[in-house]
Structure 1
Amino acid sequence: MSAARRLMTLRWTIVGVWAALLVTRVVVISTAPHADLSWFGFVELAAIALGVTVIVVAVIRAAALRRRQADDSLALAVRRIDPTVWLVPAAPTAELRDAVAEVRPEVTLSEHVTWAFGATEASMWELEGRRATRLLVVRWSRVVHIALEDVHGTRGRGACAVAIHYVRPDDAPAVATFLVRSAPGSRRFLGRGPRLDRLVADLARERIVA
């Protein structure tokens, strides 16, 4: 059963419970007009609160599942092109959006992208439908420096961006900055710590080896 079908089944089950409680109230009032239904009101409120909570949690989980499936589909598509790359789920910074718009004004970056790091180059990909689209390519031979940069603003609060300083084919200096997501499908970004330090060290090693 798909996630959408499970969510619909859950939603209608909760609606059915609410309808049953409403019918029960009507029947009790009809048969015993003077009955004390204060306890029944608490039951109804609890059922409504529980139902709303369950639906909200289910919607959030379904959205996370869709993001994870999109990341997995993109990873599969990229690895069909080059099975040797290692992938990092990421999100573009405002600086990277401006840099891509300058080179490819027809492209609007999505919220989630994936960086692929291979033996000769680093590339940024996003999913368009079921097709992986490569939006930026940086050859290791043209990379000058790789570092971490603090991100300011609400979206990047507590996060830290990876900055790849490189030279474009027209010999102009450029930088590609991106936030690293904690896992495929996640909306959380990594801050300074062992995971980002290890990533930067691995990228620097790829640059040296290439």
Structure 2
Amino acid sequence: MSQLEFTNTWFEDTARPVWDQLIPQFQPRKILEIGSYEGASAYYLVQKLAPLHPLELHCIDTWEGGIEHQEGGGAETDMSAVEARFLKNARTMAESAPNPVELVVHKGFSHAQLAKILASGHESSFDMVYVDGSHQAPDVLCDAILSFRLLKTGGLLIFDDYLWFEDLPSGKDLTRSPKIALDAFTNIYCRKLNILALPPHQLYMQKTSD
């Protein structure tokens, strides 16, 4: 797929080594990702899974960037260009896949888009949910709870940037980091989840019951 265009190697550097082990075990057919950026994770899933079976892939993103972009932490990022690269990459992926790929793009804030997906009859239907959206703790907790409702029992739930934090002039702000939200989520849902792996950058778990 030489026409694909990515400007960073974040996914390759942090996620791929673990995904290479887990994705073949689960072989998901219906996948939801929150935070698509340029589509690197979607490309990986299409590359690995489309040769095996058809895919239904739902992608949620605002393509506006997070607070860390809007407040100067990533002001150099042209999010309209990021969105254009995602759409181009997604079209190329879907058209060249060996099996049908149903790619559904949900542009908007994750809490609203997840609620719409849930209300439209997708509860407990996804084989895999990958959460890589807002890094703000309240948003992460909301994404986690709604994603749990959308994931089927036995499904794979992945969170990115578990230990991410902003370098603020005042120091670390726990509410502007995913960790506090994910710790709360895993504690509250401890009887319904099985932690599979906790490498430095991501948190992997399997839903064991509703």
Instruction: Tell me which interval the TM-score lies in, with the shorter structure as reference length.
Output: under 0.3
**TM-score between the two structures when normalised by the length of structure 2:** 0.22
**TM-score between the two structures when normalised by the length of structure 1:** 0.22
Whichever structure has more helix as a proportion of its residues is 1
Structure with the greater alpha carbon radius of gyration: 1
